[in-house]
């Protein structure tokens, strides 16, 4: 009876076969098993769109598909397909070191079983599970490298920037981003009235949270805008809402403050539409609506119909 071979090329010698060469063939088999268990091969798949079949060498070393680690190399100018025979049952460490923004698919030579594909921008590594699970449509699956979940790691750390890869970072309600001491600094939550809310915690007593524009140009604006006809609101707390305009040293500033809650005022003041004029004052020129919700249009006006400068001059002349 003649020798037979496994799908990965190991020779199965029949009883009484290979007299005088049995030892050499056994050593070759051991070498094949060694490359299957830990061998590495660099395989060029350079060129345009094509299918490359990994070779098998029955009874001899060097079979491309009988290596544990396979690195795909070369400049590719089209999508690539790399195949293995339907009966190969093993696992691979694959590395895509090709250049060119095209996909590299790893699959069985035929059938509709699942396959694994390196995306056009994926120049990384994959652990591949080739099951030979079906004689016609066997599947190939990718095994996740590294942690698929970090729940068990109570203090995970990044070694570089976190790229969300077009996905979001989701927070549970009322949780957010902590500082290095574990203090929550930014909290994302939904209030009882179903309003999205972003809370920024002061780092220490007396130190107010701060949002500032940094980097890039030395003089840039910080823009805050509502949606549609919405407003930017300055909330009140134990005191009415107030905006403080600081000096350049941020050591003091003036305030614009809303009337107290007891006044029940919701009026609106619109700034003048005309140019700023020296010697004039702001007055309510017209009103739409009435009461606490009236809208007042401001304008620049002169004192009693004459400018302040003229009033002073007349006072000096006529006493």
In a domain, 259, yes or no: no
User: Which is more confident, 200 or 164?
Assistant: 164
User: Which is more confident, 194 or 301?
Assistant: 301
- What pLDDT shows up at residue 89? 92
| Distance between CA atoms of residues 167 and 162, nearest Å | 11
Number of domains in the chain: 3
Residue 301: which of 285, 313, 312 has the closest Cα?
285
Q: Per-residue pLDDT for 266 more than 70? A: yes
Domain containing 176: what range? Answer: 172-204
| Distance between CA atoms of residues 194 and 74, nearest Å | 55
- What pLDDT shows up at residue 203? 64
Q: Per-residue pLDDT for 318 more than 90? A: no
44-53, 143-152, 295-304: which has the minimum mean pLDDT?
A: 143-152
- What pLDDT shows up at residue 228? 94
| Distance between CA atoms of residues 152 and 272, nearest Å | 62
Read off the pTM: 0.50
User: Which is more confident, 317 or 11?
Assistant: 11
State whether 195 and 275 are in the same domain: no
State whether 107 and 22 are in the same domain: yes
Q: With bands split at pLDDT 50, 70 and 90, how would you rate the model's confidence at 200?
A: confident
Contact 283, 311 (CB under 8 A): no
Q: Per-residue pLDDT for 221 more than 60? A: yes
In a domain, 102, yes or no: yes
- What pLDDT shows up at residue 305? 52
Q: Per-residue pLDDT for 147 more than 80? A: no
pLDDT tens track for 111-143: 999 999 999 999 999 999 999 999 999 999 998
Q: Per-residue pLDDT for 51 more than 90? A: yes
Question: What's the chain's average pLDDT?
Answer: 87
| Distance between CA atoms of residues 310 and 317, nearest Å | 11
34-43, 61-70, 194-203: which has the minimum mean pLDDT?
A: 194-203
State whether 15 and 139 are in the same domain: yes
Out of 126, 143, 160, pick the residue that ends a domain. 143
In percent, the amount of the chain with pLDDT more than 90 equals 54
To 10 degrees, the CA torsion angle through 216, 220, 226, 227?
A: -60
State whether 19 and 115 are in the same domain: yes
- What pLDDT shows up at residue 288? 96
143-152, 164-173, 201-210, 227-236: which has the minimum mean pLDDT?
A: 143-152
State whether 135 and 185 are in the same domain: no
Q: Per-residue pLDDT for 1 more than 60? A: yes
Contact 301, 319 (CB under 8 A): no
In a domain, 149, yes or no: no
In a domain, 17, yes or no: yes
In a domain, 30, yes or no: yes
In a domain, 219, yes or no: no
Q: Per-residue pLDDT for 148 more than 60? A: no
- What pLDDT shows up at residue 69? 96
Q: Which long-range contacts (CB under 8 A, 24 or more apart) does 233-237 make?
A: 234/258, 236/261
Distances (CA, A) of 194 to 42, 169, 190, 191, 197: 57, 20, 6, 5, 9
């Amino acid at each position: 009876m003649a020798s037979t071979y496994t799908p990965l090329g190991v020779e199965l010698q029949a009883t009484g076969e290979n007299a005088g060469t049995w030892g050499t063939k056994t050593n070759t088999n051991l070498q094949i098993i060694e490359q299957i268990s830990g061998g590495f091969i660099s395989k060029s798949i350079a060129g345009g769109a094509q299918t490359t079949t990994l070779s098998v060498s029955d009874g001899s070393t060097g079979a491309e598909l009988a290596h544990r680690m396979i690195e795909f190399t070369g400049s590719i100018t089209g999508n690539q397909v790399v195949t293995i025979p339907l009966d190969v049952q093993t696992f691979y460490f694959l590395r895509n070191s090709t250049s060119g923004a095209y996909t590299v698919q790893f699959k069985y030579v035929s059938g509709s079983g699942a396959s694994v594909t390196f995306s056009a921008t994926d120049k990384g590594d994959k652990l591949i599970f080739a099951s030979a699970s079906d004689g016609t449509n066997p599947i190939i699956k990718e095994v996740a490298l590294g942690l698929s979940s970090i729940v068990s790691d109570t203090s995970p750390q990044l070694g570089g920037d976190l790229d969300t890869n077009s996905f979001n970072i989701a927070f549970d309600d009322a949780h957010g981003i902590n500082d290095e001491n574990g203090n929550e600094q930014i909290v994302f939550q939904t209030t009882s009235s179903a309003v999205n809310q972003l809370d920024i915690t002061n780092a220490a007593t007396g130190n107010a949270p701060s949002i500032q524009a940094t980097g890039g140009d030395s003089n840039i604006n910080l823009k805050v805008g509502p949606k549609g006809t919405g407003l930017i609101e300055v909330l009140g707390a134990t005191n009415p809402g107030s905006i403080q305009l600081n000096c350049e040293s941020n050591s003091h500033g003036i305030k614009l403050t809303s009337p107290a809650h007891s006044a029940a005022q919701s009026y609106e003041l619109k700034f003048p539409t005309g140019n700023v004029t020296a010697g004039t004052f702001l007055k309510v020129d017209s009103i739409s609506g009435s009461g606490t919700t009236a809208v007042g249009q401001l304008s620049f006006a002169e004192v009693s119909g004459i400018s302040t400068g003229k009033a002073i001059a007349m006072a000096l002349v006529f006493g």
